[in-house]
């Protein structure tokens, strides 16, 4: 039997979290697959990346393009050039991508042009907001993919409505939860709470990085004002994204951090962040993946966006959509602190076995 050459492409830190279980599973079948991991370098910080490899028990990438930052178009173009050479050099039979980042879009276009099969993990998610670059990336990637792996039933419906043949669509579950479950024992040993002087359930956790929230002075000011109010009621831990930190300084809002009574940290490794999430009273975020992790952990989640591409976290999970509407956030926090948070359950196939299901499908297809 000829081996398949499978190139797994990642571009951002969340992509590593999603790729780790799949790479491990593919490498169990070394008689069937030659597997390589390619990091485009869309997000790259040497210290953070090393923490991530250690936390996820991953070997460093086999290929690193190191494209760095730039505008959407510049970054995507640089990734495409590096990817084409790497895909052809490895003689790839299948390229696997995750989520909705620029690296994912770049791989979709390149594989389509040169005739290499593409598998998209996290297919079918839609916010229906084309002002989000990620939404464009999702739609284009799905329409160019040969194998589409879906995390929730809404994804199946979205792809069917867009005319994508369900013959190549598979409801496989949420691979991010594979990493979360696999890391539970290590997460429980993290000492991040003691390092920050926290007690379980005695703090809130916030992440904020979306352009719509942090790239204008008005929106970032509004976010900081509501955090100031919440910080007077419960300690708030704020691992500050580089984009947010830069904009706080650029808009002259640095003093707002002190007024908010926030516990500000640098971006954290995966294990420490999971520990903070799992022991928090609630989480406020504009991230996509955190909506899923909090749903699995049954931690209340306040999403500071007006839409979500992960609707099951709202309909079944712990997620409440508030945007940056102070009244909505205030009411939701009141409910949580008053013990009236919404009831939730864990979605179907968020069980830690998604990578196994994906590899079984790849073997057959």
pLDDT at 12: 87
Among 201, 210, 195, residue whose Cα is nearest residue 269: 195
Q: Averaged over 135-161, what is the pLDDT?
A: 98
Per-residue pLDDT tens digits for 287-342? 999 999 999 999 999 999 999 999 999 999 999 999 999 999 999 999 999 999 99
Q: Are strands 4-10 and 94-98 parallel, antiparallel or unpaired?
A: parallel
Q: Averaged over 166-179, what is the pLDDT?
A: 98
Q: Averaged over 88-113, what is the pLDDT?
A: 97
Beta-bridge mates of residue 303: 285, 321
Per-residue pLDDT tens digits for 223-263? 999 998 999 999 999 999 888 888 888 998 877 666 667 89
Work out the mean pLDDT of the chain and round it to a whole number: 93
User: Is 42 a residue whose pLDDT tops 70?
Assistant: no
Cα dihedral 193, 304, 243, 230 sign = negative
pLDDT at 259: 65
CA angle 206, 208, 214 (to 5 degrees): 145
* CA pair distance 166, 318, nearest whole angstrom: 29
Residues forming the active site? 209
Report residue 282's pLDDT band, with 50, 70 and 90 as the boundaries. very high
Cα dihedral 196, 319, 55, 78 sign = negative
Phi-psi sector, 333: left (phi>0), alpha (psi -120 to 50), beta: alpha
User: Is 45 a residue whose pLDDT tops 70?
Assistant: no
To the nearest 10 degrees (0 to 180), the angle between helices 175-182 and 13-27 is 80
Phi-psi sector, 324: left (phi>0), alpha (psi -120 to 50), beta: alpha
CA angle 94, 171, 133 (to 5 degrees): 70
Question: CB of 355 within 8 A of CB of 325?
Answer: no
pLDDT at 364: 95
* CA pair distance 35, 26, nearest whole angstrom: 7
Q: Averaged over 182-187, what is the pLDDT?
A: 96
User: Is 162 a residue whose pLDDT tops 70?
Assistant: yes
pLDDT at 48: 56
Question: CB of 305 within 8 A of CB of 286?
Answer: yes
Q: What is the C-alpha end-to-end distance of the chain, expressed in Å?
A: 14
User: Is 144 a residue whose pLDDT tops 80?
Assistant: yes
Supply the DSSP symbol for 252.
T
pLDDT at 20: 96
Could you tell me the domains of the chain? 4-173+350-364 (3.40.50.2000), 186-337 (3.40.50.2000)
Supply the DSSP symbol for 317.
S
């Amino acid at each position: 039997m000829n081996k398949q050459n499978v190139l797994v492409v990642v571009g951002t830190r969340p992509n590593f979290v999603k790729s780790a279980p799949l790479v491990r599973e593919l490498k169990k079948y070394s008689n069937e697959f030659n597997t390589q991991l390619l990091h485009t370098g869309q997000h790259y910080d040497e210290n953070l990346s090393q923490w991530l490899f250690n936390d996820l028990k991953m070997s460093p990438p086999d290929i690193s393009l190191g494209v760095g930052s730039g505008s959407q178009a510049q970054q995507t173009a640089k990734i495409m050039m590096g990817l084409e050479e790497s895909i052809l050099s490895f003689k790839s039979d299948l390229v696997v991508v995750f989520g909705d980042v620029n690296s994912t879009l770049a791989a979709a276009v390149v594989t389509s042009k040169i005739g290499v099969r593409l598998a998209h993990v996290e297919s079918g998610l839609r916010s229906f907001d084309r002002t989000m670059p990620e939404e464009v990336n999702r739609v284009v990637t799905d329409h160019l993919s040969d194998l589409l792996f879906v995390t929730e039933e809404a994804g199946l419906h979205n792809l069917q409505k867009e005319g994508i043949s369900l013959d190549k669509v598979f409801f496989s579950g949420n691979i991010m939860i594979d990493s979360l479950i696999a890391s539970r024992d290590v997460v429980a040993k993290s000492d991040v709470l003691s390092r920050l002087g926290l007690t379980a359930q005695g703090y809130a956790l916030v992440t904020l990085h979306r352009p719509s929230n942090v790239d204008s002075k008005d929106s970032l000011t509004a976010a900081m004002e509501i955090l100031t109010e919440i910080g007077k009621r419960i300690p708030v831990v704020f691992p500050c994204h580089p984009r947010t930190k830069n904009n706080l300084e650029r808009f002259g809002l640095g003093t707002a951090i002190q007024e908010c009574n926030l516990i500000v940290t640098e971006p954290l490794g995966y294990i420490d962040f999971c520990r903070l999430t799992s022991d928090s009273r609630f989480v406020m975020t504009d991230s996509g993946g955190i909506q899923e992790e909090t749903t699995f952990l049954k931690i209340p989640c306040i999403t500071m966006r007006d839409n979500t591409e992960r609707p099951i976290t709202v309909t079944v999970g712990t997620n409440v959509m508030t945007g940056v509407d102070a009244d909505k956030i205030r009411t939701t926090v009141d409910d949580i602190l008053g013990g009236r948070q919404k009831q939730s359950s864990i979605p179907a196939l968020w069980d830690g076995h998604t990578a196994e299901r994906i590899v079984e499908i790849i073997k057959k297809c």
